[in-house]
Amino acid sequence: MTRRSIVLLGGPDSGKTNYIGRLWPSFKKRKGVLRAERLPDDIAYVDGAVEHLMQGSFAPRSDRNLEVGRADFSISVRGAHGNGNLSELMVPDISGELWTRMVATFEISQEWLDVLNEAQGAVVFVRAHSDQIVQPLDWVTARNILRLDMKDGSATVSLEEDGHELDTAVEGNALPAKIESSSSTYQAGESAELPSEHDLPSQVLLCELLRYLNLYLADRENGARPRVSVVVAAWDLLDPEVRAAGPMTYLRNEFPLFAGRLADPGRLDVKLFGLSVVGGDLADDQEFRDRFFERDISEQGWVVVQDSEVLRNDEDVMLPIAWAMGD
């Protein structure tokens, strides 16, 4: 038996838990390109995600303690709709908060290094419209904080508006409660803190995750490069024009640094997917919600597969994992 380990990665609220919850009904109903010989008996967080989906809602962001935020499971599966060789599939789910902290501090435990060294593929998640996405400061178009002169624990923030400079003195690293100009407003109660090293822009986090995978993922059994599926979750929430352009165009517009890194993936073999876990908007589309309850959950959802510049839709939500496995 060949043992293959696939790692699911992403920042906070990236869609991993709901995706795993959606996989379970397909495994139980024996639908999709992967077939499970036997499912683990007790995976509480997966069962909770499935329960939320069955009730017509998505699982909320996890508030598990960072140190115990693991939910590993292992299943024996066959590829090719059950006709492939039997393999042991391990899916170690590492919480987004834990990975964010690792990347921010450059401290990764030997335990997690071992997880990556044993893995031959990965699925990296990005969720569209997530309120947990951290955007980089827009220094140019916002035309704010053009000069920050630090002197004896104080600073002067210089803003430029219509050719005039607006200087505001600050103490330490605290910005004033409110700075206004025609281009933007900063307001955060009594004061606003300058970004810390832990407030990483999401695309920086994604680039670092890809760097770790490039360094530590194992080659596949046949010597081929390790595979990484990049999944843009909540694909159905994007405008039709954005969806028609495909996942790579979306990443170039929203995460240009990460998209540039994907264009030069090193020793990795990368494929892009768009994902809708249930196939529509359960929160704001009542018509879709009514249709959702009329069908089994294993028949809901779809993926968009990007082959070069060609897009195709597929109802099998298992495809990102299957491709990362090499099936």
Closest CA to 306 of 270, 259, 255, 265: 270
> Is residue 173 pLDDT above 50, yes or no?
no
Q: Distance (Å, rounded) from C-alpha 273 to C-alpha 226?
A: 17
* Inter-residue contact 209 to 103 (CB < 8 Å): yes
* Amino acid (one-letter) located at 248: M
CA distances from 306 to 20, 176, 284 (A): 21, 46, 28
Q: Which of 17-31, 147-161, 227-241 shows the highest mean pLDDT?
A: 227-241
* Inter-residue contact 35 to 81 (CB < 8 Å): yes
pLDDT in tens, 112-171: 788 888 888 999 999 998 888 888 765 554 444 444 444 444 444 444 444 444 444 444
237 CB-contact burial (10 Å; exposed 0-12 / middle 13-18 / buried 19+): middle
Q: In what order do the strands lie in the sheet with 310-314?
A: 35-38, 73-78, 86-91, 2-10, 121-127, 227-233, 269-276, 302-307, 310-314
* Inter-residue contact 238 to 249 (CB < 8 Å): no
| Angle CA 98–100–104, to nearest 5 | 120
pLDDT band at 315 (very low <50, low <70, confident <90, very high): very high
Q: How far is CA 15 from the centre of its chain?
A: 6
* Amino acid (one-letter) located at 59: A
Which CATH fold topology does 2-134+200-325 show? Answer: Rossmann fold (3.40.50)
How many secondary structure helices (H) and strands (E) does the chain include?
10, 16
Q: Which of 46-55, 107-116, 183-192, 311-320 shows the highest mean pLDDT?
A: 311-320
Backbone angles phi, psi at 307, to 5 degrees: -105, 100
What is the Cβ-side half-sphere exposure of residue 45, based on CA atoms within 13 angstroms?
A: 20
pLDDT at 175: 41
Q: Which helix (DSSP H) or strand (DSSP E) does residue 17 occupy?
A: helix 16-29
DSSP 8-state class, residue 133 = -
Quick count: other Cβ atoms within 10 Å of Cβ 261?
Answer: 21
Q: Distance (Å, rounded) from C-alpha 89 to C-alpha 92?
A: 10
Residue, of 149 and 6, whose pLDDT is higher? 6
171 CB-contact burial (10 Å; exposed 0-12 / middle 13-18 / buried 19+): exposed
Q: What is Dmax (Cα atoms) for the chain?
A: 71
Quick count: other Cβ atoms within 10 Å of Cβ 63?
Answer: 7
Q: Distance (Å, rounded) from C-alpha 150 to C-alpha 83?
A: 66
Q: Hey, what are 307's tokens?
A: 């082959």
pLDDT in tens, 29-77: 998 999 988 777 666 667 677 777 777 777 765 544 333 444 567 778 8
pLDDT at 308: 80
pLDDT at 93: 56
Q: Is 23 left (phi over 0), alpha (psi -120 to 50) or beta?
A: alpha
In three-state secondary structure terms, 29 is: helix
pLDDT in tens, 273-309: 999 998 887 778 888 888 878 888 888 999 999 988 7
Rounded-to-5 percentages of helix, strand, coil across the chain? 30, 30, 40
The domain limits of the chain are 2-134+200-325, 147-193
pLDDT in tens, 85-114: 777 777 665 666 677 777 777 777 787 788
- What value does the mean pLDDT of the chain take? 76
Residue, of 217 and 41, whose pLDDT is higher? 217
